[in-house]
Each structure stands twice: as structure tokens, then as C-alpha cells.
Structure 1
Amino acid sequence: MAAITIRELTKVYPGGVRALDALDLDVADGEFFALLGPSGCGKTTLLRTVAGLESATSGTVALGGADVTRLPPGRRDVGMVFQDYALFPHMSVLDNIAYPLKIKKRGRGDRHARAAEAADYLGLEGLGKRRPGELSGGQQQRVALARALVAEPRIFLLDEPLSNLDARLRLEARTFLKRLQKELAVTTVFVTHDQAEALALADRIAVMEKGRIRQLGTPTEVFRRPANLFVASFIGSTPMNLLPGRVEGEHVVAAGALLPLPDEARALTAGEEIVCGVRPEYLDYTDRPADGAFAGRVSVVEHLGGSALVTLDVEGEPVHVVVGEGREPAPGDEGWALPRPGRVLLYRDGELVTAPRESDVPEPRMAPTGKENG
């Protein structure tokens, strides 16, 4: 296997469009790594540049310690699964899987034996003679995975591998992909715009915006401690509540609530303008007044299955709260959203000022959305 080392990588397209901007990144040997961000942030360009399908304007890409920046794709020893799977419609499943071995001029008997072994491993038994058009979306995805794996690449690159599947198949494929990567222990980088997918699968995540990495960390770190307002608003099945506020002595005032100023933020000065961030999952809804709670009126209740997302109108600001099944208020009710201790994050000039210590907070619980994020 191999680690990935990227230094000062820049990609500028004709017309001056800067898709990657002096980007540095290290992916460890055997790591399952996600590139996450909105459309146009540069994540697919980065993946294709690692694969050799795009040439770098400047900077370097090293795989396993060897500089491959100027090597063609066929000499980089990577396997890639494309968003549309890119299967050959006129070939059988086995011929599709065996194609990388054919390019490497392996004998017909050897490549078909290895293709059959890869097909069986990925649960495609009995489908070897079928054409891609005769397969379900999930089966096509597994054929694409088998084709990428059959040559035993050092690096496995996945470009939105689950985006063409419906919600049920996507969940099944996500579980399968996680197990497969752990069994093979192959260095894997996958691109997604779906933050729930990245949080579920990756060992670490790079959140990208405009060709740069805005935060790099484990799913827990990125979810609990968004480093800036961009990440805070992007990560989470429901984005973080972000409320303008100001410092008043040893407190922060935001949306009418008086919140204690954390010890870690004592450097903030009275009158300073900040943004308070708190996730809907870390607010407790109550129908009675409470000190330090956001007070408002229920405007929307969205049922999510085992929970509901309640939106309070708090001094003209929407505040979202996750409430348990059977505890949903009705639109028009008065309500209060009380932040849990240590859960309020403070941002100054768009950057995180303070965050709770990991020992102070429980594990995050993400509410199901019943739909994919896009």
C-alpha cells in the first residue's frame, strides 16, 4: 500500500479558473479519507490530479514516497471508480472487471480467473456473463469496484461512488464499502458532497472550499469543533444554529439569551461582536422559561421518524432544535431552547474562538433526515 503526499498543488484551468490553490495534504497508508465540499470546490479535480487524469499546474503529488506528478495514469498504480461507473456496455461483467489486466497484457486465462475471484468477493456470483445494462445500480457499482480492485492497486480513488443509488441502496452500499476497505486495508480517498456519507465512512475528512482545505480532522472533530463558519454551516444533517451576539462582561448575549462566557474565551473584550454556534442536536426543548435559553415561538415542525426538527422564531432568527419522538410541540406554541453545558461555540471574524474540551461533552447524536443531503 502507499501514503499520499501533496505539496503546494495548484490547478488553473484556461480562463484563469483556479480549481486548486497551493494545497497541502497527507493521507496515511491504509487510511479511508474523504474529500468533502459543495459542487465546484475542487474535490474532484484533486482526485483526478492524484490519479493523473488532470495535470498539475504546479506542485507535487507523491505516492508511497515516489514523485508521480508527471507520470501518466497507467504508471501510478491506482484504481479509480467514477461517478457514472464508466462500464463498457458491450462487455460482459467479467470482461469489464478483467479490463485493467488486459491493459497490463495478462493472459486471458489468468485475467478471467482473477476477475471471477473479484466478482465472487464482491457478491457478483452468477452475473459474470451479463451486460451492465442487465444489472441493478448496486450491482453496477460493485462491478466498478471489482474492476478497480482486480489489479491490486496501491491507492483506491472513488469519485462520488454512491451518488447514483437510491436511499436504501446507498445505505447498504455505504456499509459494504466501509467493510471492504477495512478488510483490504488499501489507502482510499473518496469524493463526496454528502456530509452524512463522509461522517459515516471516513477516518479523516478534508472539508474544501474554492480549492482550499478549510478544515482537516476526524469526523468527530469536524462535527464537534467546526474551525470556521463555512464548516459550521456545511457539516451536520441540519446546519449549526449561527446567531449574532456580543460580549457583555462575563456573558455573551445572543438572540435574547444570556449565556456564560467560557473560560477559554476570556480574551474576548466587552462589546466585541461574535457569532454563537450551537447544533440543533445539542439544544434541549422545553415549554417553560429557563435561564440561558433561547425563547421564541414554534414556526415549523418537521417529522424525521424517531425525532422531529422544531424551528423556533427567536427575535427574528430561526433556531432549530431536535426533539424526541412524542415530544413535538405544535406550530404557534411558545418554546425555549436550552443549550447543553459546554456546547456553545464562539466565532470571531469567521474563525473559531473557543470550543468545549472533549472530556466535557458526550458523543454526538445525529438525527436521521430521511433523505440524502445534496
Structure 2
Amino acid sequence: MRVALEAVTKVYDGDVRALDDLSLEIADGEFFALLGPSGCGKTTLLRTIAGLETATSGTVRIGERDVTRLPPGDRDVAMVFQDYALFPHMTVADNIAYPLRLKKVPRAERRAKAAGTAAGLSLGPYLDRRPAQLSGGQQQRVALARAMAARPTVFLLDEPLSNLDARLRLEARTFLKKLQHDLGVTTVFVTHDQAEALALADRIAVMEDGCVRQIGTPREVFQRPANIFVAGFIGSTPMNLLEGECVPGDGDPTSSWTDEIDVAGLRLPVPEEATGLVGPGDKVIAGFRPEYVQEAADGIEGRVEIVENLGTTSLVTLATSGPNVQLTVPEDREPAIGATMRVAPRPGRTLLYRADDGDLIEDY
């Protein structure tokens, strides 16, 4: 079922704007992630879709219905919370069947549906156990099974994996993606973990201060962040962001055009998509990911300050005359602390942002 928000604003205590004139559309059957740091408004947005919060202004639609003022029970959505919110005194079977009980489904039918849903999530052997007798991963699956049993038109997931240990999170992530694909139910997933969002979502909305800064596929937000906030937030290693200045073309001080940027003494070509949009003297920010940085004889010089082992690669932090520069190197090419390196981004891997507002410069 399609979900659409139009100019939604949520204000607390008169002046705290948790959501600020926010609009977005989630397609039917889409796995959509709301991603951002703590306090950016992503959980408030999820709760507004669920009806647990009421929008101060704006419209929330599920399918063709305006549900802005409808109570949660009339929206046909199911929500899975971060802490699972299972009833400790109930068995797994009763927890799963509870939404059906509220809908006055006959006992035998709801028991059968609970058993069928549990079997699909490998919970069959645990139907008579209580939540305290289950592992964190099993409790998470019970919470998902309870949401599934109600057969909602929209799943709302509020950081359901955050209480699991690292190994279990990876397993649960794979399971959750397959489950959503098999069910084809529109799913809105809140997380502050960008790796989780990149791995799971069909599209991502990156949020800051109650606003959406970029919406796109995982590949789009990773490869072409729309602004320096997204560039610094997305990726297991943040993008290098270095201040620079456009220089006159052909080295002629009187030239009115530019094809190079001076970044910490390194000359970088103006990216093709920014050609004609910047001129000599313009202040810009050059962005390039550590994964796309390589050693170069005429690159930016720096001293190795930190080397972090990431398994098959290592993240190297260089102290330069300006901001630090990070790059990843193969595990067998770790430099020594204190060593000197010269580095530069790979050709075609630099993005250009305006220094005044931080937005990506592109002719699209």
C-alpha cells in the first residue's frame, strides 16, 4: 500500500519542530528506510504514520485514504518496536495471536494463524514458551510474527535490530530482507545505522533536523550524496571533504573560465557535471571517499597518524597541512605510523559542493 506525506509538520511545546514541512512518497511494496542521527525526527515520522503522534499540520495518506486524524487501530498498520514490546506473561503463541484477538477472530482460527506464522519464522518449537525463555533474536522474530499475523497493509519497524549482537544482527538483516520480499508488504524501517539502511532498503530518506536531505536508492546516496551532511553521514568511512578554490583556466589569471580546483596544493579537474557551473575564485568543497583514494607522486602530502584494521583493508588517517585525509589500503600494504605518504583521489571520483550551502554542484 502506498504511503504519502504532504507538508507534514510536528511541533512540540510550541516551538520544537520535530518535523518541518516534510513531504515524501513510499511506493506500494517498497522497503523504505528512514536514516539519520539521533534526534533528527525519524521515529517521530514513523509514529506519525502509525497514528501514535498527530501531525500539527499536513496530510498523511495510506493508499487513497487520508488517515491524518484516524486512530492507530483504524490505519491497518503494524509496528515493531526497538524493545519488541512483548507481553511477558503470555506465551509466544498468545503474543503472536494478540492482534487477532483484538479483532475478535475466533480462538481456533487465531491459534491456527499464529502457528502458521510462527512456522514461517522458525518459531514452531517455541509456541508454548514465554519471552523470558527466548534469546534476543527469537524475541525479535516473535515481534515480527505478531505484526505479520495481523496481515497489515504497512509494516513500521522502529530499529528492531538494535538490541541484537553483531552476528545476530547480520543474520536478522538477511532474514528481514527476504521476509519483506516474500510478503511484498510496504515497509518503513527506521535506523541510525547507515550500513543497515544500505543493505536493506530499496530507497533511503536521509534526515536531519526534521527535514529530508536526500531521497534515493542506496547506490545513489552512497555515490552521489546531495550535500555535505549526507556525504559525511553515509558510508562506513565518512567522505573526505576538503575546502578548495577554482583556478583560472590554462593558467591565465585573466581567464573567465576554470577547469581545475586547488585543494591543499593539489590540482583536481572540475568534475564533468559541474563544468560551466563554477568560475575562477569560487570557493568549493571537494569530496572523495577513502575507498577512492590512492597514492600519487604529486598528491597531497601527509603523515600517517592512525591505522585501523578493517579486516581485508585498513583505514589510514593522514595528518596534512589542512584537514586530515583518510584512505583505505589492502591489508598487506599497511603503512607504518609516522610514515609520509602522498595521496590523491582516483580520476572521476571527486564530487564538488558549494562552500556556502554545502549542496552538490551538478548540471542535472
TM bracket (short chain)? over 0.9
In the TM superposition, what are the counterparts of 1:73-112 in structure 2 within 5 Å?
73-112=72-111
What is the aligned partner in structure 2 of residue 215 from structure 1?
Answer: 214
Aligned residue type for 2:334: E
Unaligned runs of 5+ in 1: 358-374
**Distance in 2, Cα, partners of 1:262 & 1:76:** 47
Select the residue among 273, 278, 283 that pairs with 2:293.
Answer: 283
What is the aligned partner in structure 2 of residue 360 from structure 1?
Answer: none
**8 A Cα contact 1:208 1:214, kept in partner:** yes
What is the aligned partner in structure 1 of residue 317 from structure 2?
Answer: 311
Aligned residue type for 2:241: L
**Distance in 2, Cα, partners of 1:72 & 1:354:** 44
**Distance in 2, Cα, partners of 1:264 & 1:64:** 38
Q: What's the CA shift for 1:196? A: 0.4
Q: What's the CA shift for 1:312? A: 1.0
Instruction: State TM-score, norm by structure 2.
Output: 0.94
* Alignment root-mean-square deviation, CA: 1.2
**8 A Cα contact 2:293 2:343, kept in partner:** yes
Aligned residue type for 1:252: I
What is the aligned partner in structure 2 of residue 320 from structure 1?
Answer: 326
What is the aligned partner in structure 2 of residue 300 from structure 1?
Answer: 306
Q: What's the CA shift for 1:264? A: 2.8
**8 A Cα contact 1:256 1:295, kept in partner:** no
Give 3-state SS (helix, strand or coil) of 1:106's partner: coil
In the TM superposition, what are the counterparts of 1:225-304 in structure 2 within 5 Å?
225-249=224-248, 250-265=259-274, 266-284=276-294, 286=295, 289-291=296-298, 293-304=299-310
Q: What's the CA shift for 1:262? A: 2.4
**8 A Cα contact 1:5 1:65, kept in partner:** no
Stretch of structure 1 that moved more, 317-326 or 139-148: 317-326
In the TM superposition, what are the counterparts of 1:1-374 in structure 2 within 5 Å?
2-249=1-248, 250-265=259-274, 266-284=276-294, 286=295, 289-291=296-298, 293-348=299-354, 349=356, 350-354=358-362
**8 A Cα contact 1:301 1:310, kept in partner:** yes
Percent of pairs with identical residues: 65
Q: What's the CA shift for 1:190? A: 0.4
**Distance in 1, Cα, partners of 2:362 & 2:263:** 16
Aligned residue type for 1:310: V
Deviating 4+ runs (over 4 angstroms): none
Instruction: State TM-score, norm by structure 1.
Output: 0.92
Q: What's the CA shift for 1:189? A: 0.3
Aligned residue type for 1:54: E
What is the aligned length? 351
Stretch of structure 1 that moved more, 209-218 or 332-341: 332-341
Give 3-state SS (helix, strand or coil) of 1:10's partner: strand
| CA deviation vs aligned residue, 1:272-329 (integer Å, no higher than 9, x gap) | 1111100001112x3xx524x2221111111111110001112132100011110111
Aligned residue type for 2:8: L
